[in-house]
Structure 1
């Protein structure tokens, strides 16, 4: 038998073998055990996350006569036929090449007939978003009134292209990107089973290069093993993927931070001579800058969850670079990445890029420099040994003595020194204010239903963004919404300020929500640490308004009548945050 790729040989055959989709597998298994399966499902998510594999496993489990706890046995004739793709009752269709009305009408006509050898007839339509408008209309009637013992499973990477009338007639499951840790563990299991030795650091690089797709991870692994004759080393992975070695990018970023432009350009020529891909080079720099930002706030996220190698140089650079400096560097990298697509001289663009990065101003001195500046000057050495520095220190000491004498004179005259401003007024950086005037109108008509609607499309909205913008938005989530707007909370203040100042990103978010929901939506941002305070202030204001209305009510209203009816403030809190999250106490 000819050689088969790893992703085909190790394709999951049971729900428990699906990587990184525990919520979906548990839901489907429970539905099969309880015999509460739906007539139509929509599997949406990025490529290589297990959508088609999940559909085939579901087809086996629902038709297997020996299924146990929702899992197929994979031993009976039905399971083997579905695995081999020879069962007539399980039909897999590629909508990219069968997207016309006639193909869907053919499916609709054949779906009327009962299954021949299995309890259920399963139609798996892959890349369903490629269907034409007429084909969707032909499929709509079948989904609305499906024949008995027929199940449709629609799989897509672009769910926002599917009509809402189709989505509303299916049970939708959103497949998430597979974490680097899950990919690493799955590949380590495969290599140990095949008795192939591997370098853990090399396997981590493969997991990161896959960008959340298990199929991509196994394809890269297969390619590296073929390239290196079944030896998985860091150098072999870097040669295949075109990524920079950790030591290379550490050294390059050190040159950029020190503004050593000449050394940075020399290193660039060395990297290009090795045949590294220009686009991959910029992607690595963007990812590195993003990791520096996140590491300063959440070190464990970078090292344990994303499997990024944290070297001593990386730690020092995370303290040396200021957030505003890294923001500008990411913007510059993103602009050059777009320009590389339209040039025949990428090396020139990369040289100019490094010069720009090395000259990005560091508006605040690094922490190490600030510590050094505050160290007391030794008085043991004579001033003559220190040269010009000793003269500068002497001048400063003279100025300090003069100022002290002036303060003493003012105090004796009864004038007293002027009160210094509070530290929070002078030293604290400018903090972007939360727009409460935009938050309160949303809270006035916010409901749990509207919030759930935004939460459902939020993963799809993130997938519509570029990698750099998605990295910033991954720490955000909707916390309240009405029919025309949503409040989005950020876990970290610096990411909140970054998005508030990024008009382009806000425009993309609004455009994406308009596509996903079919109507324009206002987006109001708030830091997570400020959200409980704003929510409490709003409820208190709403309660005050209600009390004022009660005082203005006619005198003939009986007190007993007001006690029976729940206060509007309490009703608003229940509508906003759910009955389980609100506890009502009588004053």
Structure 2
């Protein structure tokens, strides 16, 4: 008889022989015992965790007439035929090579026929996620209305690729990765049954290299048996798996912790010279650092015997590096592992990695080698001297600052003066004068009332910029906004988005297009006076004061001197609603706000009425002569 691989010879034939899947096996056995058998199951999980084996055991258990506690007897004709794969009622299909619609339609047509020998016809579809969309649709109809005495068992390593309409019609069982302890126990049992000599440390190396797959562990064990002439030795297991001995890893790790890059590079070269795989070396080092990290947290979190080291080794390793440095090491290892996937020179990456790991600064209680006392004292003395010099300089600087403050801080302000003088504030008078020519107090009051609503239409940064500004003059089509600080005025003037947003908000609130003009607050009084002077306001005041209309007395009524004097400048034109002509310049009120001559016109040449229109009823005070 030809040789059979271990994973085939020692394939589980009972639920109790499945390693590491106690929850799944117990649920399936209870379903058989209570006769609560579903028509479809989905077994999902990583490779080599027992999905197909569990499907065959389940097929035997539901058809075995001598089953006990949900387990098949493996002695009857049905059980033996299923074990040998000779029972026609148990059909195993590989969906990777039979993923078309026609294959699934053939299954659907044949499923209608009753089983010939067994009680149930069982279809085991392996790697079901490989089916095409049409094949899934064909299978879906069968799962919706399953024939009697037919059971579907779907197995997959990628359940996320299966349509949800399929998953919702099956009972799903998730198979988990097999722990290193379970794999170790299973291999030990098999070798004991075969009467093969072995070293337990070699079995731990194989169990860790299998990465949670029992079939992988048995395949590696088969290789080691062939390599070492039917023995299992630690050195042979390390060679076959490409792993690194724990002692070499410990030496390499301590050299990294002590920042001995030269020694660490030599150790790494020795590891590669023995034919170790670079990727495997990275994985072993990550697992090694993970064990050290867990031991630092709590020694009970790991099985020390399974690592191949002793408690004394872990105590030494834990004291050498802090947890923060271990985290950083793992990050570096993960990054280099990704970069090494497609390289043909892993030794270069490993050399760079070694140097980087040696340069990680330990923030914990590392037992790094300390220099000799005489050598260590010199750097400490130099550092203390430098600190004292810096402290003396700081004290001198503090004394200088205090003296400058006592003298009025004149020298401290001088550096800031050139910076202020260098800022040239430019005001566009061509935009300001048209607004001044039509400005009225009524428009200004209306705009001030709506100013808060306008700000709510702006963004938060825009509102912050306008927080130190206010409208100082307004007409029916424009507004002049004064800024308290010149640099904010400059920023607002160059911000086209701010101007556009303000004009758009004012148009929505006022119902007409508005022009927004900015001025600095410190230049606003001079701009106002220049405008009045250029348009000859003083001459018009004198002419108005000497006219008969301005000198007509009002019996029993006297306006406040300042308002009355300004009201006397009102024009005598009867067209009050018309906008003022360019030669009629605006004047300013007590608050410095600009108003046009239109605000000063009255129906009759009554100075009191004009004063009230100009300044408001709450300001004008009437007294009897």
Partner of 1:273: 273
In 2, distance between residues paired with 1:392 and 1:227? Answer: 58
Partner of 2:201: 201
Alpha-carbon contact 1:303-1:310 (below 8 Å) kept:
no
The secondary structure found in structure 1 opposite 2:152 is strand
Partner of 1:234: 234
Partner of 1:548: none
Alpha-carbon contact 2:319-2:365 (below 8 Å) kept:
no
TM superposition shift of 1:301: 2.8
Alpha-carbon contact 1:250-1:314 (below 8 Å) kept:
no
Alpha-carbon contact 1:302-1:308 (below 8 Å) kept:
no
In structure 2, runs of 5+ residues without a counterpart are: 388-625
Alpha-carbon contact 1:46-1:175 (below 8 Å) kept:
yes
Alpha-carbon contact 2:324-2:364 (below 8 Å) kept:
no
Partner of 1:24: 24
Partner of 2:434: none
**Alignment of structure 1 residues 428-577 onto 2, 5 Å:** none
1:95-125 CA distance string (max 9 Å, x none):
1111111111111111111101100000000
Partner of 1:72: 72
Larger RCO, structures 1/2 (Cα 8 Å, 6+ apart): 1
In 2, distance between residues paired with 1:140 and 1:388? Answer: 77
The 1:253–1:388 alpha-carbon spacing in structure 2 relative to 1, beyond 3 Å, is closer
Partner of 1:358: 358
In 2, distance between residues paired with 1:388 and 1:93? Answer: 73
1:347-377 CA distance string (max 9 Å, x none):
11111110001001112343x589x99xxxx
**Alignment of structure 1 residues 111-150 onto 2, 5 Å:** 111-150=111-150
TM superposition shift of 1:33: 1.0
TM superposition shift of 1:300: 2.4
In 1, distance between residues paired with 2:93 and 2:278? Answer: 38
In 1, distance between residues paired with 2:211 and 2:33? Answer: 34
The 1:305–1:49 alpha-carbon spacing in structure 2 relative to 1, beyond 3 Å, is farther
In 1, distance between residues paired with 2:308 and 2:24? Answer: 28
**Alignment of structure 1 residues 31-430 onto 2, 5 Å:** 31-303=31-303, 307=307, 309-310=309-310, 312-366=312-366
User: How many pairs were matched up?
Assistant: 383
The secondary structure found in structure 2 opposite 1:125 is strand
The 1:253–1:307 alpha-carbon spacing in structure 2 relative to 1, beyond 3 Å, is closer
In 2, distance between residues paired with 1:235 and 1:98? Answer: 43
Alpha-carbon contact 2:323-2:364 (below 8 Å) kept:
no
In 1, distance between residues paired with 2:48 and 2:307? Answer: 20
TM superposition shift of 1:346: 1.5
In 1, distance between residues paired with 2:219 and 2:136? Answer: 33
In structure 1, runs of 5+ residues without a counterpart are: 374-384, 400-587
Alpha-carbon contact 1:122-1:150 (below 8 Å) kept:
yes
TM superposition shift of 1:239: 0.8
In 2, distance between residues paired with 1:33 and 1:100? Answer: 36
In 2, distance between residues paired with 1:35 and 1:58? Answer: 13
In 1, distance between residues paired with 2:287 and 2:66? Answer: 48
The secondary structure found in structure 2 opposite 1:122 is strand
In 1, distance between residues paired with 2:136 and 2:72? Answer: 32
In 2, distance between residues paired with 1:35 and 1:103? Answer: 31
In 1, distance between residues paired with 2:276 and 2:246? Answer: 14
> Of the two, which has the highest radius of gyration?
2
In 1, distance between residues paired with 2:294 and 2:286? Answer: 12
Alpha-carbon contact 2:304-2:310 (below 8 Å) kept:
no
The 1:314–1:391 alpha-carbon spacing in structure 2 relative to 1, beyond 3 Å, is closer
The 1:305–1:255 alpha-carbon spacing in structure 2 relative to 1, beyond 3 Å, is closer
In 1, distance between residues paired with 2:345 and 2:378? Answer: 52
The secondary structure found in structure 1 opposite 2:151 is strand
The 1:349–1:369 alpha-carbon spacing in structure 2 relative to 1, beyond 3 Å, is closer
In 2, distance between residues paired with 1:386 and 1:194? Answer: 64
The 1:152–1:307 alpha-carbon spacing in structure 2 relative to 1, beyond 3 Å, is farther
